[in-house]
Amino acid sequence: MAKENILKIKSFAFALKTIQTYKEIIKNHKEYVLSRQFLKSGTAIGALVREAEFAQSKLDFISKLSIALKESNETEYWILLLQKSDYITQVNANELLSQNRELTSILVASIKTTKNSLKKRT
């Protein structure tokens, strides 16, 4: 039986929450510019995690997860901007920030672990 991939599961759940929030923003506020940027970066994290799953090498794996990490950082920016400009509530922002920061932590740990395994080989 395959081991459960917590990063894959959590990044997919975060993408769904991102889509739900995006829909609420465009429905309630008719705001399409900031919310679209948030949608793109928030869903890209999971897509990159999926790409990393079939990476061609450990270096490719690290590269994909590093890009996901950048997307996670960008997503935090958009969440904060949407919250400060009153497009999402503080409660919604806190939930999104918590999930996103958890993804960031998992990504950092995965990248470090993979880099350390490469060092051990040399």
Q: What is the pLDDT of residues 10-53, one digit of tens each?
A: 999 999 999 999 999 999 999 999 999 999 999 999 999 999 99
Query: Domains, the chain, ranges and CATH?
Result: 6-115 (1.20.1440.60)
The DSSP symbol for 100 reads H
Contacts of residue 73, Cβ cutoff 8 Å, sequence gap at least 6: 104
- Rounded Cα gap, residues 51 and 45, in angstroms: 10
For the entire predicted model, the pTM comes to 0.94
Which runs of consecutive H residues, i.e. helices, occur in the chain?
6-29, 33-53, 58-84, 90-121
